Amino acid sequence: MEPNTSKALCIYCASPLYQLREGNVKCSQCKKKYSPARINQIKKTINAFCSDENALTASKSLGLSYVSVLNYYQKFRHLCAQYCEAQYNLHRDTQTQYEEYLYIEKSKRHDKRAIFDSHNFLTFGYGDQVYTLLMPSLGLFKQQFIEDNLEDMYHKEFSKFMRTSKIIKISEHDNAITKFWHYFEQFITSFKGVSNEHFPYYLKEAEFKFNTSKETRTEILEELYFRPIGSDI
């Protein structure tokens, strides 16, 4: 085992590395062993994610399987959610307003039953950034309302509520909250449908990307991926 003469530092703790056989390295401090080629591959995948490349396109450009990239992307979305939560907790005292938003896929917006398939979330504004909080799914009540023949009544009342009720009036029409809504609509339609199970993480991906510049996203995600919160390194 020999010190790495290239002065490369450990991706996990920034300590000097030792060169091992077959191109692998070992950290002198945290003792982690890894392949620099694999680390480079993960970095490229993070960059593709932050550049809004979909999983299929990224798999082709990176020479990886679609399933592998998809798994990486899901991990990144979880990290985005953690980051957004931490940022909101740091700045929650500076929030000034919030508003409710109802998202329904465009293909379903003329179907009254689609109200139960909608995603309802609160959007909090603090400065030029936002924080989203997903509300319980209305799908939980769909079957009961249909069985009780109350579907039409509920649809009318809920639609009326969404048009007239405001939790807090937004002082400026073109503020961070409304900008995020426009951004989110464009963002989510780029995917070929998102399951209810995964929707919360796509929402947090949109929030993360809205709140961060393209120049800083990759750096933030690399830090979160290789040196996660709570790491003892």
Residues whose CB falls within 8 Å of the CB of residue 21, separated by 6 or more in sequence, listed in order: none
Residues 103 and 216 in one domain: yes
Closest alpha carbon to 11 in 216, 227, 218, 232: 227
Flag whether 122 is in a domain: yes
User: pLDDT tens-digit profile of 146-165?
Assistant: 565 555 655 555 555 444 44
Residues 96 and 28 in one domain: no
Domain enclosing residue 9, as ranges: 1-34
Closest alpha carbon to 43 in 71, 67, 13, 11: 11
Flag whether 74 is in a domain: no
Flag whether 60 is in a domain: no
pTM over 0.85: no
User: pLDDT tens-digit profile of 69-78?
Assistant: 999 999 999 9
Residues 30 and 84 in one domain: no
d(Cα 183, Cα 101) in Å, to the nearest integer?
13
SS3 for the chain is CEECCCCCECCCCCCEEEECHHHCEEECCCCCEECHHHHHHHHHHHHHHHCCCCHHHHHHHHCCCHHHHHHHHHHHHHHHHHHHHHHHHHHHHHCCEEEEEEECCHHHCCCHHHHHHCEEEEEEEECCEEEEEECCCCHHHHHHHHHCCCHHHHHHHHHHHHHHCCCCCCCCCCCHHHHHHHHHHHHHCCCCCCCCCCHHHHHHHHHHHHHCCHHHHHHHHHHHHHCCCCCCC
Flag whether 75 is in a domain: no
Q: State how many domains the chain has.
A: 2
**Confidence tier at 82 by pLDDT (50, 70, 90):** very high
Q: Report yes or no: 10 and 32 within 8 Å, Cβ to Cβ.
A: yes
User: pLDDT tens-digit profile of 13-66?
Assistant: 889 998 887 889 999 898 999 989 899 999 999 999 999 999 999 999 999 999
Flag whether 136 is in a domain: yes
For 218-230, what is the mean pLDDT?
86
Residues 11 and 102 in one domain: no
Residues 128 and 222 in one domain: yes
Residues 211 and 128 in one domain: yes
Residues 86 and 26 in one domain: no
Residues 197 and 104 in one domain: yes
More confident of the two residues 55 and 101: 55
d(Cα 173, Cα 179) in Å, to the nearest integer?
9
Flag whether 231 is in a domain: no
**Confidence tier at 103 by pLDDT (50, 70, 90):** confident
Flag whether 152 is in a domain: yes
Residues 30 and 85 in one domain: no
Residues 6 and 89 in one domain: no
Residues 107 and 187 in one domain: yes
Residues 112 and 211 in one domain: yes
Phi, psi angles (nearest 5°) of residue 181: -60, -45
Flag whether 65 is in a domain: no
**Confidence tier at 79 by pLDDT (50, 70, 90):** very high
